[in-house]
Structure 1
Amino acid sequence: MIELKTPTEVAQMRPAGRFVASVLTALKDKAAVGVNLLELDELAHQMIRDAGATSCYIDYHPSFGAMPFGKVLCTSVNDAVLHGLPYDYVLQDGDLLSVDFAAELEGWVSDSALSVIVGTERPEDRRLIEATEVALAAGIEEARVGNKLGDISWAIGEVAHQYGYLVNTDFGGHGVGRTMHGEPHVPNDGRAHRGLKLKAGLVIAIEPWFLATTDEIYTDPDGWTLRSADSSRGAHSEHTVAITPSGPLVLTARD
C-alpha cells in the first residue's frame, strides 16, 4: 500500500535524512587505500549508536537474501554494485566503492547511497559515477506533483542511454517511511507519462545504478552481494526524496 505523508510527517523525517547524509559523508572521507570494509561498517555502527538510531540492515532478511544481512552498510566494490556484504577486504588503489546506508531515527527511515573512487582515478569509473549522479538529478527533477512515476523512470533511463549504459530494472527505487522498503517500486527505466500519478506526501528513494558493459547480474556466494555478469564495474547513487507542493525535497542532501 502506498502511504502519503502529511507536511508535519515530512518535517519529522528530516532528522533521519540529515543523519543518513552525515554518515555517508563520514564514510566518503574515511574510504582510502588501506582501509578495511569492516572498518567502514564499524564507523557507521558507532555513529548509529551515538545518534540513538537503528540500523535498517542488520536483521533485514527479504526473500532474495540468503540470511539476515548482519551488517549496517552495503559496501560494493568494483564488479559488485548492490547489497555488498562487508567482509575482511582492504581497499586497494583504484577500487570503485559504492556505499548504501539506511537507518531509522525518531521512527522514520531514510536511505541513500554514493560511489567513490579510492586512490588513483580511472576516467571510465569517473564517467560511470557521473552517469548515476546525473541520472539521480534528472529523476529528482521529475518528482513533482502531477507528474507520473514513469516520468522519473524515463528520466533516469534517458541519462543511462545517453551515456551508453544498459539498465537493469530488477532492482530500483522504492517507497520510504516507517520502514525502509515500501510501495511504489521505482524502476530505473520506463515510459514517460505512464504509471502512478505523483501526489504531495509521497516519499521515495530514487536510486540509479549502472554497470559499465552489461545489465545482467548474479548473486555472490555470500548470498547477498550482486555482481555484474561480465565482471565490469558498477556505480550507484541514491537519495530519499519527498514530493511536496513546492517541488522535490531531498531529505538526504549532503553538504
Structure 2
Amino acid sequence: MLEKLLRRKNVEVQLSITERVVNIKHRTIPSHVAIIMDGNGRWASRRSLPRIAGHHEGMKTVRKITRIANDIGIKVLTLYAFSTENWKRPKIEIDFLMKLPGEFLTTYLPELIEQNVKVEMIGDTSSLPIHTQEAIAKAVEATSSNNGLILNFAMNYGSRLEIVETVKEIAQMAVSNQISIEEIDETLINAHLMTSHLPEPDLLIRTSGEVRLSNFMLWQLAYSEFSFTDVLWPDFDEACMLSAIEEFQLRNRRFGSVEGEKGV
C-alpha cells in the first residue's frame, strides 16, 4: 500500500514538473544560465559524511540540472566546478575533485551525446592533472558536432585572472600596433574573454545561502539577474531549477533604461 502511494506521489510530482516546463516554454527563456554550485561540503557534514561524499552527490545534481535545462530549451549552462582559489583546499579533496570530471563524463557521455549536448570548458587547463585534461578533451571532442545545449564547465577558472589575461592580450596588440588605444572598447574586450563565443548569462543561480560572486564571471554578469537559494547543491533538484527560471520570467530587465524588458 505504501509503495503504491509513493509511486502515485512521484507521478504527481513529475506531472507537476512537466506542466511547469510547458508553461515556462511559453515565456521568455534565459539563453544562458550560470550556476555557482555551492554547499557540497555542508551537505556532507550535516550527514556526518566526508566532504568528498557531498561532491559525489553534487555530481548527480549536475546530471539532473543538465537534463532539465536541455528540456526547457536553455542554450548555455555554465557550471562553476573549480575556481582558481579552490587549490587552497586540502589535497585529498582537490584530488577527488580532479577525478570527478572523468567520472561524470565517462558515466554520462553517451547520454549527453544522445541528448545533443555539447561539452565545453573555460579556465586554465594547464594546471589541471593530465587525467582531468584528457577526460574533458575526450568529451569536448565527442560532442563537438552537437548543436543543442552547451554544457560549459568552469574549471580552474577565476574571473580576475581572465580579465588580466585579456588586458595583456589587448595591450600586446596595442604595443605591436595591431590596434590603436582608441579601438579598445567593450566589444574588443568581449572578443578576448574565454566566453567570447557565448551570450552573456541572463541568470546567475547560487545555491547554499551564500550571497556573493566568488570571482565568477565578473565582467559577463554585469546585467544578469541573480537568484540565491538556501538549498544546498546536492539537494537542488528540477523543481528548484524551475522555480529560479519562473522567478526570472517575472522580472523586469531594464539594462539601464527606464522601462526595460519584461521577462514574460
Q: TM-score, normalised by structure 2?
A: 0.24
Larger gyration radius, structure 1 or structure 2: 2
Higher helix share: 2
Q: TM-score, normalised by structure 1?
A: 0.25
Higher strand share: 1
